[in-house]
Amino acid sequence: MNRTADAIIIGAGVIGAAVAYEMAKSGMRTLTVDRNTLAGHGSTAGSCACIRMHYSTFDGTAFAWEGYHYWRDWAEYLEATGDGPLSKFVETGCLVMKSEENGYLVKHMKNSTALECPYEDWSAETITERLPIFNLESFAPPRRLDDPAFGQPNGGRMTGGVYWPNAGYVTDPALSAQNLAAAAQAKGAEFYLGVEVSAILTAGGKVSGVRLSDGEEIHAPIVINVAGPASSKINAMADVLDDMTITTRALRQEVVHVPAPEGYDFEKDGMMVSDSDTSLYCRPEQGNHILIGSEDPECDLREWIDDDTDYNRDFTEQWTTQAMRYAQRVPSLGIPQQTRGIVDLYDASTDWIPIYDRSSLPGFYMACGSSGNQYKNAPIAGKLMAALVDYCEAGNDHDNSPMQFELPYVGTTVSSGFYSRKREINMESSFSVVG
């Protein structure tokens, strides 16, 4: 007997689980399918789980500032009863170094001011006081190890940065997805894991469900693609690519884990740092380690992946490049011979801003292109997608009259057309993981 549901959600990562939770809260009978056997064990498990507020666009800033409040009040948001462990949000603050590349953060501060999102304008002296391990020489542009000028300062110095005190990270991103899945199940949602979608079913010009790789069919009038790095495959199955200005691709990423400098407690005294001068970001990691990721400068070659199940999971020279570039900023850093960290995939959109939208196939929706800079927004993205489905299924023309979406904590309304599949490429984006 084939299963049925009001809505099928493809993907049980942190955003897929949030969508299930928000739709279940509204009374919809959802069924989430995922090829992994546990929620959050796809690309979510490899996420750096950074919670930050700084964006170059107003809409991006508003969405991220709204998202922070759900992580701050995680147990309350989940309506948790105390059964089972919850992921933990560690509020370290985030320093973003001012540079020519980020416009000295003028737009970011303007957006935060407009939204009453707290920030502090730090001088170079304040940075040195708060992070005495930092060398404030400038090394731009970022380079690879094989560049003869690698590691050579350019003669300038970093003049300061902006600090967002409410930023931080979540200690166990996979657990956060499992928390959301449990909360969804408590509201009646169903999860069907360890199965893979092989086809999107249609009937009468509308979506009608999915077929699994074993031939089983699941029928529903609504299907939502939240498949992470597999999202482009699912969209191709649904034959919805023709009217999309913005598309998604899987991008291989390496994240470095190294011990903090000897004698310095980075886990306690450190913070998230985004540094476009070296084109790296970092955050504390448990065990007094430092997690280091690339901000995708031109020198770091992008490796786009056609098959999200078959790619190189070993570290390459990129690991050493990131570690060595970070050592320019932190000269006392010890770089171990044994490589540690994460190799995983991003689901990156054309302009690195996600797609939260309907599609050209009635009943088929997308929450795609969210990897790298949208983990923080999972709860509010879940709310937006639930509202969008209601809006479109009620007969509204979202393409020509985009849904206006209220952010409850921030107290402002944004147009969900900002995340349209048909938008023009947003030239205010950083076109990188910074979003």
Domains of the chain, earliest start first: 3-84+172-247+351-419 (3.50.50.60), 90-168+248-349 (3.30.9.10)
Strand spans (E) along 113-193: 120-123, 160-164, 168-170, 190-193
Closest CA relative to residue 293, chosen from 321, 312, 263? 321
* Strand pairing category for 206-212 and 197-203: antiparallel
pLDDT by position in tens, the chain (length 435): 579 999 999 999 999 999 999 999 999 999 999 999 999 999 999 999 999 999 988 999 999 999 999 999 999 999 998 788 999 999 999 999 999 989 999 999 999 999 999 999 999 999 999 999 999 999 999 999 999 999 999 999 999 999 999 999 999 999 999 999 999 999 999 999 999 999 999 999 999 999 999 999 999 999 999 999 999 999 999 999 999 999 999 999 999 999 999 999 999 999 999 999 999 999 999 999 999 999 999 999 899 999 999 999 999 999 999 999 999 999 999 999 899 999 999 999 998 899 999 999 999 999 999 877 799 999 999 999 999 999 999 999 999 999 999 999 999 999 999 999 999 987 776 666 765
Tokens of 73: 């009040």
Q: Strands of 98-175 (E only): list them.
A: 120-123, 160-164, 168-170
Task: Name 54's Cβ contacts closer than 8 Å, sequence gap at least 6.
Answer: 61, 64, 94, 96, 105, 108, 112, 119, 162, 164, 167, 274
Q: How far apart are the C-alpha atoms of 282 and 98, rounded to whole Å?
A: 16
State how far the Cα of 374 lies from the Cα of 14, in Å rounded to an integer: 10
